[in-house]
Structure formats: C-alpha cells, structure tokens
Chain A
Amino acid sequence: MRRSPALLARRASHSKNALAGGALLVLIGLAVVLAPLISPYRPFATNQRAGLAPVSAAHLMGTDRFGRDIFSRVLWGGRLSLLVGVVSVSLAATAGVALGLVAGYYGRTADTVIMRFVDLLVSFPSILLALAVVATLGSSLFNLMIAVGISSVPNYVRVTRGMVLTLKEREFVLAARVAGCPPYRIMTRHILPNVVSPLIVLTTLGTAGAIITGSTLSFLGLGIQPPTPEWGNMLADGREFLGTAWWVAFFPGLAIMLAVFAINLLGDGLHDVLDPHVRL
C-alpha cells in the first residue's frame, strides 16, 4: 500500500493544484517568517498624524486608526494566525490519531468509550464548542489552540479507526503479532505508516479550517487581543471604518483568504496525488 516517494513526487509535479497551492503557500510562509526583516515599520509603532491614511507608497496597505502601518501588521499578524492554525491542527491530529489507533486496535470497551466521546464532540457546532472552551478556560494563546483544535479531533479519530479496522486482519499485522510484537509497536511501526496518506490530506485541509476558526475567535474578541496584531482582530478593528477607511479591514481579510486558498489548493492537489484512481 505504500508508494515510493519518487512516484509521489512525480505525480505531485503534474498536479496544477498542488503546485500552485504549494508555491503560494511558500510565498506567504516566507513573507510571514521573514517579517522581522522585511516589515517596513514596527508593528506596534503608532503615528497619530498618519491615522487612517489610505494606500500609498509610504504605506503599502494604508494605516489604521493609530497610524500603524497595516502591511507590517499583516506580516507580523500572519505569524500568529498561521501559528494558531498549524499548532491546533497538530494537537488535534496527534490526539485524534492516538485515540483512533487505540479505539480501532483494542476494540470493545475502549472503542465504545472513545466513539461515544467523539459523538459528543460532534454534537456541538464547532464555533460553539470553541466558544465554550474559551469561556471556560480563558483566552490565552494555548487555550485558543485547544479551542480551535478540539472540534476537529473527531475527524482524525474516525479516519484512523477506520483504517485500523481495515488493516487489523491483514497478514502483515497477524504476522507481527505471532512474532511477539507488542501492540504499541504494531500500531506505530506497522499500521500507522499506512494511515499517513488520508491523514496528510486531512491535516492540510484541517489547517485551512483552523486558521479560519482561530481568526474568527480573535475577530469576535475571544482570541488574540489587540494591540497584538492578528488577522482576525485586525479585521474587527477595521469594522468601524468600512465606509471611510476600507483598507483597514480589507487587507487582513485578503491575507486570510489567500492563505486558506493556497492551503485548500494544495490539499486538493495532494488528494489527487495520493488517490490511485486519479490519473496525473
């Protein structure tokens, strides 16, 4: 079931979605990581005389009400927005895959308990679950990541568990068991590598959703708080000036959209690359 990395790489080079999405993502990622080097102004630097200035050569994306350069804040804010997205997905995937492996491999009680828990998580709409977590635990950065991640855990559990159930009775697993391989090793060395393909697509697309959820929470005032720049709370800042200084909200939102668009393209491309039925 495992295909050679060379074959996958070749397929990926034929997928327009994967290439376009990947390229755009690398561009955005570099811009954001290099923010300290390329940002023309410091993100917290105010300038009252240049408040709400429109797009110009001096301020590529205009300024906000405090005269802070929006382009710089978009670059710096991207670090937090993307960080929240990536870390929360990693947390969710780790927890979800672990639970899925246990539920699928051990079955019976463990399976029932874990799947009931998953059903419970699924019965809350995602933002409401995130709201509940933030309301209860407070809006620190770490809690925000938990809040964003927790509603996607069920996906990982279900996909992993499904794969485990399919693979559990295959010869190579039975052979490993007969050879005395402990369950932990069977799960990690033998089963897990085969689950990687659907998980790659899931985590890629999941990151897109996580970025949106994270910035939504910050937009609502429940995530990263101003003055720390983050795409979501910058959008909230710009709400008051939609008619007068549209750039304050427009550019952070555009950043979110482009980042998520790139990830979705990449995810779609990867899905095609990893799906043996698709001809590339």
Chain B
Amino acid sequence: MSRYITQRVIHLLPILIGISVVTFLMLHLIPGDPVLIFAGDKPLTEQRHEELRHELGLDRPLWAQYWTYVTGIAHGDLGVGLHSGRPVLDSIREAAPATAALTLSALGVAVVLGLGLGIAAALAHGTWFDTVTMTIAILGVSMPVFYLGLLMIIFFSFDLRWFPATGQGGFSHLAMPAAALGLVTSAVLARLVRSSMLAVLREDYVQTARAKGLPRAIVVLRHALKNALIPILTVLGLQLGALLSGAVVTETIFSRAGLGRLAVDAILNRDYSLVQGAVLFSALVYVIANLLVDVAYAAVDPRIRYE
C-alpha cells in the first residue's frame, strides 16, 4: 500500500509542475504589455516604464521568471494582489475556510442522498419508485446550480422566510447553499450508483450469496456495494472538481465570501495576481483530493495495489 501511495505521489510531480507552468503563463498570455497590466491604469513615463519592467523582473528570460515564481510559491509567496494590494496568500487564506465548509457540507448531502437514493432505486428496479427517482434525477442533473439556488432563494427566503438569502455565519446561512450544490451533485451520483449497483447485482456471486440464504441486507451491503463502489469512487473524485466549480457559482448567488467569489471578483477587477493565486490553489487542492480518492480506491479494491 505504501508503495502504491509513493507511486501515485511521484506520478503527481509532473502534473504539479505543469500546473505551475500553466498558472505562470496565464499572466504572460494576456494580450497587451505586462508592465501596463501591473501598473494598472496610471499613465507611465518612459523611465518609469523601464524601472517597473526591471522591478518586476520582466526583462529577464522567461525561464528565470518562472524559477522566481516557483521558488516564491515554495516559500508561500504568491505575490501581491494588483487591485487589493494585499498579499495573495492572505486573501486566499481568509477565503478558503468558507469554501471548504460549503464544499464539504455539499459533499455530505450529495453522498448521503446520492448513495441512498441510488441504492434504493437499484433495489426497486422496475417499480414506480425507480422511474420517479430517476426522472427527478435527470431533472436534477439538468438544473444549473445557480438556477436551483435562485429558486430556493425565491421560495425559502422571500416566500417562506425560513433562511437568509445572503451572507455567512452559522448553519442557517450554510443550509441553502449546501443544499443547492449538494442536490445537483446527488442527482449525478444517484444515477451512477443505481447503474453501478444494477450491474453488480446481476453478477454470479450475488446470485450465489442469495442462494446461500444470506439476508438481503448483508448481500447488498457487504457483497454488492463494495464492488459497486469502485466506479462510484472514480466519479466522486471527478465530482469533487464539479463541487469546487459549483462552489464558485453558489458563493456568487448567495453572496458568500469564499474562494469562488474571490476569483470571480479578481477577474472582474483585473487583479491577475489574485486570479493566478486562486487558480493555482484550487488546482492543488483538487489534485490532492484526487490523490486521496486514488488511495481510497486502493483500499477498497486490493487488486489495484499490485498493478
């Protein structure tokens, strides 16, 4: 197992380098003169222009700039926000917890609902429950997160006045955003869990278990579910990316401060350093999360450890 983990981590290194290259290049691919981008909209004299070019290191070869960028990251220096004036790392550090809370609670909702309904639908295959659940699931998959969020605000905040529409704080501020994000993700999961379970339930070893007289619950939970988990875990890893993406939108709708809002506002304010930092951070989190999924994968299916 530890050999497998080491292997996966080594596999990660070129990807991490690639991510750093992409985020580094972001600033340099922007059309226009980079010096002017950094200077904002203030007019520059020739001399000041040259000075700034030198200060920012833009007169050095690209690979040298990249090296400074990477070593900076290693020391936790992601630069200073062009618009905010604050160190990028600080802005990210402030915004991250809110996003983490949202993403994790949405994940919880998605897993509980998705797994529960998916397994139930698979077991009730062919009945009205199956059809109704799957139709709701397709609707759920088709609903953009921001639309569901808006509908919830209209209904729960303005009509029923149960939950506040914006801001953060405690549970009542987290409930709707987490529900909106979680529900859409659970629809995707439910569909997949159902088809995965159906495929497994058709297998011979399930027939054998039933023929042996094992109670249905044990057959489903101990034998079938474990094998159905493998494709489910893969999708869960991919859904983490969707959750991160969804968090961006959800935070905007519910006016929650978080990484998503930070990134979007940064783009609208042309604060490219902040965008760069936010994208880098999110990509790193996503990559690490997928690593954890890979490890979980190997824990569930012993065959994978020996590949």
Give A residues with C-beta under 8 Å from B: 116, 119-120, 123-128, 131-132, 134-138, 208, 212, 215-216, 219-222, 235, 238-239, 242-243, 246, 249-250, 253-254, 256-258, 260-261, 263-265, 268
CB distance from A136 to the nearest CB of B (A): 5
Tell me which of B117-125, B222-230, B247-255 binds A. Answer: B247-255
Given A136-B29, A221-B268, A264-B142, verify A125-B286 contact (CB < 8 Å): yes
How far does the alpha carbon of A137 sit from the alpha carbon of B144 in the complex, in Å? 25
Contact partner of A216 among B18, B144, B153, CB < 8 A? Answer: B144
Give me the 7 closest cross-chain CB pairs, A-B, nearest first: A127-B245, A253-B147, A261-B142, A125-B241, A243-B158, A260-B142, A120-B18
Given A131-B275, A242-B154, A243-B154, 5 more A-B residue pairs with CB atoms under 8 Å apart are A124-B22, A124-B283, A135-B275, A243-B157, A261-B138
Q: Is residue B19 within 8 Å, beta carbon to beta carbon, of the partner chain?
A: yes
On whether the beta carbons of A208 and B19 are closer than 8 Å, the reply is: no
A125 to B264, CA, bound (A): 14
The verdict on B100 contacting chain A, using a C-beta distance below 8 Å, is no
CA gap between A30 and B165 in the complex, in Å = 37
A119 touches B15 (CB 8 A): yes
Does B300 reach chain A (CB closer than 8 Å)? no
Query: In this complex, which of A131, A215, A268 has the most chain B Cβ atoms within 10 angstroms of its Cβ?
Result: A131
Is the interface on chain B under 10, 10 to 19, 20 to 34, or 35 or more residues?
Answer: 35 or more
Known contacts: A222-B264, A256-B144. The answer to whether A128 contacts B138 by CB under 8 A is: no
Q: Let me know if A220 and B283 touch, CB within 8 A.
A: no
Question: Which one of B22, B143, B245, B290 has the greatest number of beta carbons of chain A within 10 Å?
Answer: B245
17 sampled A-B residue pairs with Cβ under 8 A: A116-B18, A119-B15, A123-B19, A123-B283, A126-B241, A128-B278, A131-B248, A131-B263, A132-B26, A208-B142, A215-B144, A216-B146, A220-B264, A235-B147, A246-B154, A250-B150, A261-B138
> Please, which residues of chain A bring their CB within 8 A of the CB of B241?
124-126
Interface string of B208-246 (1 = CB under 8 A from A): 000000000000000000000000000000000110111
Judge if B287 is at the interface, Cβ distance under 8 Å. yes
Write out the residue numbers on chain A whose beta carbons fall within 8 Å of the beta carbon of B30.
135-137
Q: Is the CB of A127 within 8 A of B248?
A: yes
B22 A120 Cβ-Cβ under 8 A = yes
Q: Is B43 interfacial (CB-CB < 8 Å)?
A: no
What are the residues of chain A within 8 A of B141 when measuring CB–CB? 264
Which B residues fall within an 8 A CB radius of A?
A: 14-15, 18-19, 22-23, 26, 29-31, 138-139, 141-147, 150-151, 153-154, 157-158, 165, 241-242, 244-246, 248-249, 252-253, 263-264, 267-268, 272, 275, 278-279, 282-283, 286-287, 290
Tell me if A128 and B147 are in contact (CB < 8 A): no
Of the candidates A221, A250, A254, the one whose C-beta lies within 8 Å of that of B154 is A250
Q: Which of B141, B142, B153, B275 has the largest count of A CB atoms less than 10 A from its CB?
A: B142
Q: Name the residue of chain A whose CB is nearest to the CB of B278.
A: A128
A258 contacts across to B, CB distance below 8 A: 142
In the bound complex, residues from chain A placing their C-beta under 8 Å from that of B142 are 208, 257-258, 260-261, 263-264
Known: A125-B242, A131-B248, A131-B279. A219 touches B263 (CB 8 A): no
Q: Which residues from chain A contact B139 at a C-beta distance below 8 Å?
A: 257, 261
From B22, B23, B144, B153, A242 is in contact (CB under 8 Å) with B153
A235 and B146 in contact (CB under 8 A), knowing A128-B283, A221-B268, A253-B151? yes
A201 vs chain B, min Cβ distance (A): 14
Which A residues lie within 8 Å of B29 (CB)? 136-137
Chain A nearest CB, measured from B282 CB (Å) = 5
- Are B144 and A212 closer than 8 Å at their CB atoms? yes
The answer to whether A134 and B267 touch (CB under 8 A), given A123-B15, A123-B286, A265-B138, is yes
CB <8 Å contact, A131 and B138: no
Q: Which of B26, B157, B286 contacts A135 (CB 8 A)?
A: B26
Q: Complex formed: what's the CA distance from A218 to B29 in Å?
A: 22
Given the contacts A125-B241, A128-B248, A257 and B147 also touching, CB distance less than 8 Å: yes
Chain A residues contacting B26 (CB-CB under 8 Å) are 132, 135-136
Assess the B150–A135 pair: CB atoms within 8 A: no
CA distance A123 to B14 in the complex (A): 12
- Verify B31–A138 contact, CB threshold 8 A: yes
